[in-house]
């Protein structure tokens, strides 16, 4: 659980989402259509849902880890 939550979700997942959001903002600022920038922005959403589901299904279940993963998923969907 420690590796999954802290390393995979919070570190790697956050970096991936921030980089993809930056690429989407660059595309939008260069005149790309809105739908293209939105598609780039939401591209890591399946990966985010996978990470959330992995934390939710982990064997040593923790209420704190579940709450952190729900908050992270909501935040990364917006970011």
pLDDT tens for residues 48-73?
999 999 998 888 878 888 899 999 99
**What pLDDT was estimated at residue 48?**
94
Query: 13-36 as b/e, with b when 16 or more CB fall inside 10 Å?
Result: beebbeebbeebeebbeeeeeeee
pLDDT tens for residues 11-53?
999 999 999 999 999 999 999 999 999 999 999 999 999 999 9
């Amino acid at each position: 659980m420690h590796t999954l939550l802290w390393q995979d979700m919070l570190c790697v997942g956050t970096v991936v989402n921030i980089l993809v959001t930056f690429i989407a903002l660059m595309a939008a600022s260069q005149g790309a259509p809105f739908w293209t920038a939105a598609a780039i922005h939401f591209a890591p959403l399946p990966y985010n849902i996978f990470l959330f589901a992995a934390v939710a299904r982990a064997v040593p279940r923790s209420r704190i880890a579940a709450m952190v993963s729900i908050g992270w998923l909501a935040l990364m969907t917006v970011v």
